[in-house]
Structure 1
Amino acid sequence: MKDEILCNFWRRYLQKSQQAYCNRPAGETIKALSVCDSSTDMDSEPEQPSLLHFLSVSESDGDLQTDCSYASSVGKVSESTSVCSGSVDGSLYVRKNRKEKLRMSMPMTLSFCYMALLWLKEPMTLSELLRFVVEGHIPYFNAYQHFPEKMKLYGLDLRIFCVESWPVYEEVYNKMVELAAFLDLPRFPDITDNCFLHPDVLCMKYLMEANLPDELHNWTYRVVKKTSMGEADFLTLTPGNKSARKVKYDVLAAAVIVVVLKLLFLLDDHYEWLLSDFSSERKKNNKEGEGGPYFEFKKWYKVIKCTLDVEQKKLDEEKAKYLWKCEKPLFYSVKKKSKILRRRQMVENLQNQFGKLSGSVRPAGRPNPSSFQLSWSEENTDGSCFHGHSLKGILQEKHGLLTAINTDYWLCTDKLCNEKLCGHLAHYREEDFPKSYHFVLRLFSFLLRIQPSSIHEEGYWSHCLKLLCSWPGCVREDMKGMPRCGSRHR
């Protein structure tokens, strides 16, 4: 909150939602306020009856025994109302109302952070931000245990800060877009080709992490160039512009790589294996040391599948073992304090005993956050790194240029949905698509911690379809004539 950009965003939010930095008529009642409105605005100096009304609608806890500095400023309150039942507007924030979507919450806090990162063009994507949250590098789950002593939580405030679910990419992103429009922010700083969030840069990062050849970056660059997805007007967020598509930079980069793999290898559970055999035969006839080893999809698949299965199992186990209760227990009264501490000690003893019996050792400390989840070194002698491999085994030379041997491309749908009605442009079901295609989606969904359907939908979007109309060998068809799932055309 001390950051200049984020602090200004927060102040603007308080003013736009009339929670602070605004003038309010004296004696305004709670019924005239929205969910975002509250009497916490100290500048407006609301009258005492209004404040007492706020306290009366909050849930009280008679066992709470603590000092409440705010009570002295309020004056005398009735005995039936607990001054330590939480913040004055706590009951308003936990009240569910579909019309008021921009209530502050823990996911909204992440939306604020990502909006500030995007404004500053920091080298961090939304998927990385959420991954750092899950890994515990950013206070989110049980964040109140980091609060100072004078900011103890009571009553309804616990329901606001107690989060027992993983942050969802779509929810945080959509809230960020709504928030930027609500604040009437101007056009964000341009995303240029030297910015980390540009598709060319992100494609290079994800190609390295997916252990794919460096030469594929030339092809992703061509796709981005041909579809105009690398232009600043397309990439830059303009709040309030409903006609402009809101770009998810990390998902877009992953979708571009998937499109390139389909263009080169088809990914129909048949052609990519034939290309692997063809590349292997070419490698035998190739002069030793000329152009480096040829890339074979079959070998890459075996290496990545083994690694991905291990990492996915490890991730699933970590999520299953995650303790939602904080290390620093909360107790609401002196009477319950000793009971809660004894129960906590018992849980820790049982965990230690089960850990010794199972042979599992707790990590000494949390590892430092890293932008890469999978690392591949060309120095390994086991041949598990494919960064320096050449694509010449699957390319052919025409007019002095290397082009793809594959001339087919399948569009994997028979109908495009209305995005305004159902929220999706194209739907994805695993059983309707080739296994190789699903494996590639699964790889990038693991790296981004999102659903495979999100990458599928992004790759199917209209700008990528423009590519098919101009790519050599593809038929120019209108939207109604698209082939069904799994089919392909020349």
Structure 2
Amino acid sequence: MDEEITDGYSEPCGQCGSVFWGVSDGGQFFCKNCHNVIERTKDCDDMNAVLSNSRISSLSTRKRKQSGKGARDWMVIEGFQLIIKLQAEALVKLGVCPQFKTDVLWIFWKRYMQKTKQAYTRELANSVSCSVDLSSDSEAESSVAFSEASSHAEVASMNGASAVSGYSSDGRSSVCSGSLDAEQYLRRKERRKLMSMPRTLAFCHLALLWVKEAITLADLLRLVSKGHVPYINVHELFPEEMRFFGKDALIFRVETIPTYSKVHDEAVELAALIDLPTFPPVSQDCLLHPALLSLRYLMDANLPDELHTLVCKVIQKTAMGKDSFLTFDPTGRKPTLLCYDLQAAALIVVTMKLLFRLDDKVEWKVARKANKKGDEMKHGKKKTKRGGKMFNLRTWFMVVQPALERAREKETQAEAMRQWKSKKPIIPSSKHKTVILKRRRVVEQLQSTFQALSGSTPEQKVSSPSTFLFLWGDKNGADGPSLHHKCLDNLMIKKQKICRIVNRKYWHTFLRKCPPGRCGDHFKDLEPTLPRMYVWLLGLFSFILGVEDAQLHNAVVQVERRLLAKPGRKSTPENLNE
């Protein structure tokens, strides 16, 4: 293909003198011998329309104004609007209701632009002058650009700037970035109000909570990590007319996925910033309710279905299933956005502690008794109504532990193979453009040569999204046998027609709250003294959620405070019995 495009162009290379031209993916001519890039492109068919010598011989000190063809003005806020639109479209393709994008996320975004006055005010900073009129026409243009999935937003046209990309409205060049206001954006003092890449995920998280979708914050971050929701190198999806250059990379380029707590804190701050009203109530039929979420995590952890009944009792005793407790109200005195997934996993951990105590002693004694009863039933000495299908914690640990190690190793390998580098080269400045393009061309040729010699494919295949992390059962590719059908008869005793837990004691860490601002996280100091089985259980659910063990432990402590630390209550599991 290169020979057909470069046929007839016999100008020698200005650096090595050879006539050996190729065409890059961007349509630019480069020398295959020394990788020198010239200004000629494959779109230019008439040689008389260009200079006789198109090689870049020097950088002129005069600032040239580019033609409007192929490039247009765009602002930083327009780039973020495009990113949120792409993320919303990806979530809708994954099964989220279309109202999530058109009726909720767009309203949140418009409120943000109005409250922070980033798109509807007159501002003058350095050489960039932007004037936005809050009129019905401008609102309609923005709504169409966002809700109807147009190729680019019309924020730049609303701003009334007259320059092409990279130049200000007064004719002076803005060579530091492709956008008009990147330098001004980075120098603004009101950082709390500015948009950022983690805040785009906070927008999506708040909108998902509003429509009560089953995608929790942990699910959203996993979708981002797997590449199903655009985030890493999202600037590659920008239209060609939106030049990405220089300081734009400091705003839009990311080299890590934000943590759970980072996005959660951004969501709380964002809800207060744009003054959102009380969210729709989280009722019992909502998929974010702890009763339904805990059932999902019980299945993923290969725990018995009967355990869900006890988890629901813990939810009832702690009053953590009420609408008033679960519903997010940003207008309150101390607005609290619950971590619904963390709360559901913490309820399961507390229930496991109630049943097995998890002190590295009682759980293994119960497991030995279950093995003994199983052996007796095999020899026909005893019979039970359940046919001997009793849950054994040791058996469950031996099934789940290898699957957990394999999953961790697989995730580590996937993280090591992640391509953080952008396929499109990011040009920091005009004088480095030739060097950057030359290096990228060398790297691409080396990669293609290595791939041809080794026969390997460097790019990862994007796995299909799944609600569950593990697969339990007898099917091919399953992580292990399913234990969902096991019963808990050996852990319960029946007295006076009331089922009670065999375990009569319960241990917990210090439940008193630390003074705000004086203490931090104590889990690192506390972890060596905790029972190993409890730490392992924290690690299992922390891996399923993609959070730190300390975060889940703090959620467990919050559940225990509500269950055990109330006046007049004893720190025993007797409170769970009815």
Partner of residue 258 from structure 1, selected from 349, 355, 379 = 349
Counterpart contact for 2:165–2:179, Cα < 8 Å: no
Over 3 Å counting, the alpha-carbon distance change for 1:351 and 1:248 in structure 2 is farther
> Which residue in the other structure is 1:166 paired with?
257
Over 3 Å counting, the alpha-carbon distance change for 1:308 and 1:338 in structure 2 is same
The answer on 1:69 being equivalent to 2:69 is no
Counterpart contact for 1:121–1:197, Cα < 8 Å: yes
Q: State the distance in 1 between where 2:392 and 2:167 align.
A: 74
Q: State the distance in 1 between where 2:295 and 2:522 align.
A: 27
SS of 1:69's partner is coil
Partner of residue 87 from structure 1, selected from 179, 184, 199 = 179
1:422-465 superposed Cα distances (whole Å, 9 cap, x missing partner): 4658776421211100100000110111001111001101x532
- Aligned amino acid, residue 74 of structure 1: S
> Which residue in the other structure is 1:15 paired with?
114
The answer on 1:147 being equivalent to 2:238 is yes
Over 3 Å counting, the alpha-carbon distance change for 1:234 and 1:339 in structure 2 is same
Partner of residue 408 from structure 1, selected from 497, 505, 528 = 505
Over 3 Å counting, the alpha-carbon distance change for 1:407 and 1:295 in structure 2 is same
Aligned residue-pair number: 437
* Residue 302 of structure 1, CA deviation: 1.1
Paired-residue identity, %: 37
* TM-score under structure 1 length normalisation: 0.81
Q: State the distance in 2 between where 1:241 and 1:184 align.
A: 11
> Which residue in the other structure is 1:369 paired with?
465
Counterpart contact for 2:389–2:486, Cα < 8 Å: yes
> Which residue in the other structure is 1:52 paired with?
none
Counterpart contact for 1:408–1:473, Cα < 8 Å: no
Q: State the distance in 2 between where 1:170 and 1:42 align.
A: 35
The answer on 1:318 being equivalent to 2:414 is yes
SS of 1:148's partner is coil
1:141-200 superposed Cα distances (whole Å, 9 cap, x missing partner): 100111111122112111111101121110100110111011111100001111111000
Partner of residue 457 from structure 1, selected from 533, 548, 554 = 554
SS of 1:410's partner is coil
The answer on 1:387 being equivalent to 2:484 is yes
SS of 2:500's partner is strand
Partner of residue 132 from structure 2, selected from 42, 64, 86 = 42
Counterpart contact for 2:224–2:231, Cα < 8 Å: yes
> Which residue in the other structure is 1:198 paired with?
289
Rg: which structure is higher? Answer: 2
The answer on 1:397 being equivalent to 2:489 is no
SS of 1:186's partner is coil
1:253-281 superposed Cα distances (whole Å, 9 cap, x missing partner): 01000000000001111110001011222
SS of 1:403's partner is strand
SS of 2:245's partner is coil
> Which residue in the other structure is 1:278 paired with?
369
Q: Could you list the runs of 5+ residues in structure 2 that have no partner in the other structure? A: 1-84, 86-100, 136-161, 573-578
Q: Could you list the runs of 5+ residues in structure 1 that have no partner in the other structure? A: 32-37, 46-66, 477-490
- Aligned amino acid, residue 210 of structure 2: W
Over 3 Å counting, the alpha-carbon distance change for 1:72 and 1:407 in structure 2 is closer
> Which residue in the other structure is 2:425 paired with?
329
> Which residue in the other structure is 2:98 paired with?
none
1:179-234 superposed Cα distances (whole Å, 9 cap, x missing partner): 10111111000011111110000000000000000001001100111111001110
Counterpart contact for 1:265–1:271, Cα < 8 Å: yes
* Residue 69 of structure 1, CA deviation: 2.4
> Which residue in the other structure is 2:223 paired with?
132
* Residue 82 of structure 1, CA deviation: 3.3
> Which residue in the other structure is 2:402 paired with?
306
Structure-to-structure mapping, 1:286-305, within 5 angstroms = 286-287=382-383, 290=386, 293-305=389-401
* Residue 74 of structure 1, CA deviation: 1.8
> Which residue in the other structure is 1:51 paired with?
none
> Which residue in the other structure is 1:6 paired with?
105
- Aligned amino acid, residue 69 of structure 1: V
Deviates more, 1:141-150 or 1:100-109: 100-109
Q: State the distance in 1 between where 2:522 and 2:510 align.
A: 11
The answer on 1:227 being equivalent to 2:354 is no
- Aligned amino acid, residue 164 of structure 2: S
> Which residue in the other structure is 1:48 paired with?
none
Over 3 Å counting, the alpha-carbon distance change for 1:194 and 1:75 in structure 2 is same
> Which residue in the other structure is 1:57 paired with?
none
Counterpart contact for 1:394–1:405, Cα < 8 Å: yes
Over 3 Å counting, the alpha-carbon distance change for 1:362 and 1:73 in structure 2 is closer
> Which residue in the other structure is 1:209 paired with?
300
Counterpart contact for 1:279–1:294, Cα < 8 Å: yes
SS of 1:397's partner is strand
SS of 2:352's partner is helix
* Residue 420 of structure 1, CA deviation: 4.6
Counterpart contact for 2:511–2:560, Cα < 8 Å: no
Counterpart contact for 1:213–1:387, Cα < 8 Å: yes
Over 3 Å counting, the alpha-carbon distance change for 1:316 and 1:41 in structure 2 is farther
- Aligned amino acid, residue 42 of structure 1: V
Over 3 Å counting, the alpha-carbon distance change for 1:203 and 1:350 in structure 2 is farther
* TM-score under structure 2 length normalisation: 0.69
Counterpart contact for 1:378–1:388, Cα < 8 Å: no
Counterpart contact for 1:19–1:41, Cα < 8 Å: no
Counterpart contact for 2:493–2:499, Cα < 8 Å: yes
Deviates more, 1:114-123 or 1:325-334: 325-334
Deviates more, 1:331-340 or 1:317-326: 331-340
* Residue 348 of structure 1, CA deviation: 2.2
Q: State the distance in 2 between where 1:427 and 1:417 align.
A: 16
- Aligned amino acid, residue 175 of structure 1: E
